[in-house]
Amino acid sequence: METYMLEVQDLRTKYVTRFRENVYAVDGVSLKIKEGKSIGIAGESGCGKSTLALSLMGYYFPPLHYISGDIIIDGKNISKLKPDTIRKRILGKEIAYIPQAAMNALNPTQKIIRFIEDVIHAHHPDATKKDIYDIACERFEILGLPRSVLEKHAVELSGGMKQRTVIAISTILSPKVLIADEPSSALDVTSQKMVIKMLRELMEKEYIKVMIFITHELPLLYNVTDDILVMYAGQIVESGTAKQMVFDPLHPYSKGLMGSIIVPEEGVRDHQLTAIPGTPPSLKNPPKGCRFAPRCPYAAPVCSSMEVPDIELPNGRHYRCLMSERKIREV
């Protein structure tokens, strides 16, 4: 029996709107990640990527509600815990989350060291200021951030530096799982590279055991993570290693996504960009059967009547389509 650092089984969560409508943003997501691995989640805007990230923390507050499923971190099920327990025991220590505009999370009136004191005090109330300062200095130096940052205010730092500082603060307690939700999409390419380098370092030095990286930039995902999951309308439609997913996608939706990759490399100008027609379905009442069927170029009548199972291939890839692997390669 293999052990997994993070195991999610059939997680379902929903949003409840003002008009008491249910929006099923995460609908039956299962994933397993081994220690030392990183996964990337790709998909269009509105497909539920960020909701999945929020749901994985186990910290539900309205309008987000938990329906069913298990989140198991290192053998401990956190999905049934109370929000207060999660906040006190799990966040920061077991799971850390970096939102998209993480740099806006810094209070402009406080020095950076104060945030670190806050994080550590929440979990170790008797830590002294001196200890915290030493820990912070050591960690900042390893991650390539100057020690002087600790004594600065947020306004004195540049955007890329703020983002890296926030990452350093949120991982100061060496959480097992790090969820990074578009951590670099507001930055220019050079700062983005620094952020990625830092996340890689965190993985290599084993400060974090598992990383979940969410973005719609596929070339970035290809370079950062080991595996890629493609999400569509609240479900995972395909998963595989980064190389398989970028160069040999199976699901028609993944094919469309991979066709939209643009990189400044030879040969890119000749290939035709493929765009997926239509818009993602509303998650209030998702289409029956295959959710991608209304937009799929290969859809058959049976696609929209029958629930599509998750098919596992011998090489460990998963995909959710009624077509067989051979037929997919033919069309």
Partner 1 sequence: MSELGASCLSGRGVTKVFGIGKTVTVAVDHVDFDFREGQIISIVGESGSGKTTFSKMLLGLISMTEGEISFQGKPRVLKTCAQKRKYWKDIQAIFQDPFASYNSFRKVDSVLLDCINMRDGKALPQKKKEEMMTEACSFVNLKYEELTNKYPFELSGGQMQRLMIARIFLLKPKILLADEPTSMVDACSRATILDMLLKLRSEVNMTIIFITHDIGLAYYVSDQVYIMEHGKFVERGNAENVILHPQAEYTKRLISDVPKIYGNWDLTTV
Rule CB under 8 A: which residues touch partner 1? Answer: 44-46, 188-190, 192-194, 196-197, 200, 216-220, 222-223, 246, 256-257, 259-269, 273-277, 279
**Which one, 29 or 198, has the nearer CB to partner 1?**
198
CA distance linking residue 257 with residue 255, whole number of Å: 5
* Closest distance to partner 1 from the beta carbon of 284 (Å): 15
* Closest distance to partner 1 from the beta carbon of 205 (Å): 15
**Which one, 30 or 274, has the nearer CB to partner 1?**
274
* Closest distance to partner 1 from the beta carbon of 235 (Å): 17
CA distance linking residue 53 with residue 30, whole number of Å: 13
Bridge partners of residue 111, in order along the sequence? 153
* Closest distance to partner 1 from the beta carbon of 182 (Å): 10
**Which one, 44 or 227, has the nearer CB to partner 1?**
44
CA distance linking residue 312 with residue 320, whole number of Å: 9
CA distance linking residue 23 with residue 304, whole number of Å: 20
206 φ/ψ sector (left φ>0, alpha ψ -120 to 50, else beta) = left
Q: How far is Cα of residue 250 from the mean position of the Cα atoms in its chain?
A: 21
* Closest distance to partner 1 from the beta carbon of 249 (Å): 13
**Which one, 3 or 223, has the nearer CB to partner 1?**
223
CA distance linking residue 37 with residue 151, whole number of Å: 34
**Which one, 61 or 247, has the nearer CB to partner 1?**
247
DSSP secondary structure code for residue 303 in this structure: G
**Which one, 79 or 254, has the nearer CB to partner 1?**
254
* Closest distance to partner 1 from the beta carbon of 69 (Å): 27
CB 104 within 8 A of CB 163: no
CB 48 within 8 A of CB 231: yes
CA distance linking residue 119 with residue 91, whole number of Å: 10
